[in-house]
Amino acid sequence: MSDEIVKRYYSIGEVAEMFAVNASLLRHWETEFDTIRPKKNRKGERQYTQKDVETIRLIYGLVKDKGFTLQGAKDFMKQKNQQDAERGSVIESLEKLKVFLTDLRNKL
């Protein structure tokens, strides 16, 4: 088993501390990027998932490390999502082709 415990949800304070940014910046990014959608508990406190944290890590890298503007980061992520969708359809087609060729080989 892994010695590291992975949390299911992170508070806004924990996520802000991970990236050494203010919580207000994370709230702003929520309004700018529709891919960041933390759940809220009954008190209205944000609960970030691991997927949210990874998205924030990508945005942080683009904006803070690579110098992208927010619009540039949005465009980059949109393009990345389109490429991922295209790759998925190519993989699906290749898997169908593999099944067809395997069936053909077995019939010979």
Going from N- to C-terminal start, the domains of the chain cover 12-107
Residue 58 has pLDDT above 60, yes or no: yes
Quick one: pLDDT at residue 95? 87
The mean predicted confidence, pLDDT, of the chain is: 88
Query: Which pLDDT band holds residue 4 (cuts at 50, 70, 90)?
Result: low
Could you give the CA distance from residue 51 to residue 75 in angstroms, rounded to a whole number? 19
Give, for 40, the enclosing helix (H) or strand (E).
strand 39-40
Residue 94: the pLDDT is 85
**pTM value > 0.75:** no
Cα-based distances in Å from 17 to 12, 13, 22, 64, 65: 8, 6, 8, 15, 17
Cβ(27)–Cβ(13) below 8 Å? no
Domain 12-107 has CATH 1.10.1660.10: yes
